[in-house]
Structure 1
């Protein structure tokens, strides 16, 4: 085509040929520009019910063959052709003319390019497909249990955020974003928590994707077993739920623990009486016959253990000799405490030990982790799967101001179970000296060296500048002074005749100012006429001078201008 353009250029003197050449050049330019297609972002729920649909764009008139190419997000593979087999089950299927439909699998996420392959290669459409992974996918929750959910975006687009949203605002202590995963915990769910929770993706603040759950919660408890993780502090509390569909006469809560295996009644009540057993920090309302919750407030570390809610009723309404018991719920309460301790030393740079400890071990593997806040994110410092030990510690060589915000988190089965923040600025009473950033000796030496070199360099530059300025000022001063030029007077042939010399503003010869020697005492005195510019002219009187024993007289007229 380029040779055709050259031939047309040779004939541009013909107007019709010139117009045709311009039109063909414009068509070629539009063809190049149209080959740069924009990217459309598509999000889907991994392992969900809905398939992913990628529509094909309008086809070109000259195109005869087309193809879908896929590049995975992991970057380990080069673009490959999408295989579509209509005769057997396949991950991809084709609908319409060239539309692409694929299974909602996280492994299929990546970049999809729809191109024209014949008669020339031309990209027509580009899609970047992102999988959002939810855990769990479906929820049917026991009354009084904790629900933990997570959504993960393995490949996070630039300027994207991932977070959980609900009808009411979620507290910061129940949400966490770490490693491209957003976690949320709802404590002790009941019918009031029967609402929708969405995992939302935003690009530059604009919502581009949202999917989630409408929590389905059981209305009653019957031989349910739940595990709760709770922080122990002066402001923490926990509610234990116990509700029956049938009516009972009496209800009670009992407790056992590893340190106290004997069952102890914590609260009890009868339906027909408002009196009941209440212990310090343990409280329950009057038994209604079907509902008997218990609250522990404040919750201390020693409150961990197994709690059972038991309903009793007579076998017959006419006899109270035999009593039927029904265990409604078993709650395993695991309390968490964090502590700060000094590891020796007398100054503020002594090692500091952070410890996170559980009161009980869970029936399922539990991972403890220490996270440190850095800006708007968190950094994993240490994590460990607990087997025999119930605690995890982190030792800081010294405490810096950028190491004040920590949190101990509990993971179980890949989900966040609890998080306990630790703000070390609230623990200054445990640290003898104020917490300040520390510079080691090497850093201080380097800093002083930099300062000293900077001062020397500045002093040298200033000295050179002053010398240059001083020399320049001297040159200007020398140039402004008057310069005397001596014009040689005619040679003296007759000592009796006066000789006149004209002196202008040039400097005199050095010999004219030297002192007479012994052999020159008899020299005649010459007449000179001296004229200096810069002053008003004024006549000077003629003076006679004698030089030794000579008999010649020189008259000199001095005129100052």
Structure 2
């Protein structure tokens, strides 16, 4: 009787599979949708049997996860599990495959400005190049060299952005990492890896920042203003303020940003502050894809 009951429970589990091939060094956003969720159910992402430490968000009946700067360690199966009363109801399996090289590729990434934010610009090639350089173009026709490397020769730092602690110290001719940490709001722009023959790969960086007024903490019943700002918009981008209840987001305000917007920011005015700390997140969406999360806590 116990065996039959167990078999019937297993039949209720719904499995869905999806596979995706992504560019090395890019950001990948995964989304899991379920038709209905009760208050007692949970929805979360796992990889290799462990809950993923990457940026996650639950909103309505969807669970989002952002994989930053994917490489071979990012490959594998990601499991979105819907749990109801301690039992698995739905498992959605999303397989991520990462390309080994990123030649002639252009991708856009978003980063929150701050001391804990970083960007890894990765060059990996099947062919050997004796020299390369990373350049930065914050506005059209403003390209400057940031770093230059040559096989067997010491790295040359040229520009205003110094390499972070995880930058490569030597150049093999086929692999080099230019690490930026921390990421400042004005680091937005176009980063190109240029070899002796051509542009190998291009990364477009958009930065976001969140702030609270007053900045030094608030008193009970004091009004608060939250601001979320994005550095630049070339396509349609939606900014959303979520009030967080655990990892569940409650939508408070949203606005579509385009190139025509003079102020690329979204503010929330709170008439009075409650006694417990309030956790908020500003989310950046392009179409229905979550591109970035920027958390802030009122205390």
Q: Classify the TM-score, shorter chain.
A: 0.7 to 0.9
Q: Which has the higher contact order (CA 8 A, sep 6+)?
A: 2
Report the secondary structure of 2:268's partner residue: strand
Query: Could you tell me how far 1:359 is from its partner in structure 2?
Result: 1.3
- TM-score, reference length from structure 2: 0.85
Indicate how the Cα distance of structure 1 residues 200 and 348 shifts in structure 2: closer, same or farther if over 3 A, else same.
closer
Task: Give the alignment partner of residue 195 of structure 2, picking from 311, 314, 322.
Answer: 311
Would the alpha carbon gap of residues 159 and 406 (structure 1) be closer, same or farther in structure 2, given more than 3 Å must change?
A: closer
Correspondence for 1:407 among 253, 267, 281 = 281
In the alignment, which of 341, 349, 374 is matched to residue 213 of structure 2?
A: 341
For residues 217 and 150 of structure 1, do their structure 2 counterparts lie closer, same or farther at Cα, with a shift above 3 Å needed? same
In structure 2, C-alpha distance between the alignment counterparts of 1:208 and 1:271, rounded to whole Å: 54
Contact 1:251/1:287 (CA < 8 Å) preserved in 2?
no
Tell me the CA shift for residue 192 of structure 1: 1.2
- Greater strand percent: which structure? 2
Determine the structure 2 residue equivalent to 1:267: 147
The equivalent position to 2:178 in structure 1, one of 294, 308, 319, is 294
Report the structure number with the largest CA radius of gyration: 1
Of 137-146 and 161-170, more deviation after overlay is shown by: 161-170
**Count of residue correspondences:** 280
**How far, CA to CA, are the matches of 2:245 and 2:135 in structure 1?**
43
Structure 2 distance, partners of 1:393, 1:301, is: 18
Residue 372 of structure 1 and its aligned partner are, at CA, apart by: 0.6
Query: Is the CA contact (8 Å cut-off) linking 2:19 and 2:95 kept in structure 1?
Result: no
1:55: which partner in 2?
Answer: none
Q: Paired residue for 2:6?
A: none
- How far the C-alpha of 1:169 sits from its partner, in A, is 3.6
C-alpha displacement at 1:232, in angstroms?
Answer: 0.9
SS of the aligned residue for 2:124 comes to coil
| Cα deviation code 1:65-124 (max 9, x no counterpart) | xxxxxxxxxxxxxxxxxxxxxxxxxxxxxxxxxxxxxxxxxxxxxxxxxxxxxxxxxxxx
1:368 matches 2:248: no
Match for residue 113 of structure 1?
none
The residue correspondences of 1:334-483 to structure 2 (distance < 5 A) are 334-342=206-214, 349-361=221-233, 363-374=234-245, 377-387=248-258, 388=261, 389-402=263-276, 404-425=278-299
Distance 1:143 1:252 in 2: 19
* Unaligned residue ranges in structure 1 (runs of 5+): 1-37, 49-136, 313-324, 426-561
1:177 CA drift (Å): 0.8
Distance 1:375-1:149 versus aligned 2 partners, 3 A rule: closer
In 2, Cα distance between the equivalents of 1:336 and 1:419?
A: 9
SS at match of 1:302: helix
Q: Which runs of 5+ in 2 are unaligned?
A: 1-8
Contact kept? 1:257, 1:306, Cα under 8 Å: yes
Report the equivalent of 2:4. Answer: none
Mapped contact 1:166–1:198 kept (Cα < 8 A):
yes
Q: Distance in 2 between matches of 1:275 and 1:143?
A: 23
Matches within 5 A, 1:243-262: 243-258=124-139, 261-262=141-142
Offset of residue 41 of structure 1: 4.0
Alignment RMSD: 2.4
Match of 2:70 in 1: 189
Alpha-carbon separation, structure 1, partners of 2:247 and 2:146:
43
Larger fraction in helix? 1
Distance in 2, matches of 1:157 and 1:381, equals: 21
Cα deviation, residue 191, structure 1: 0.9
Q: Which residue of 1 aligns with 2:94?
A: 213
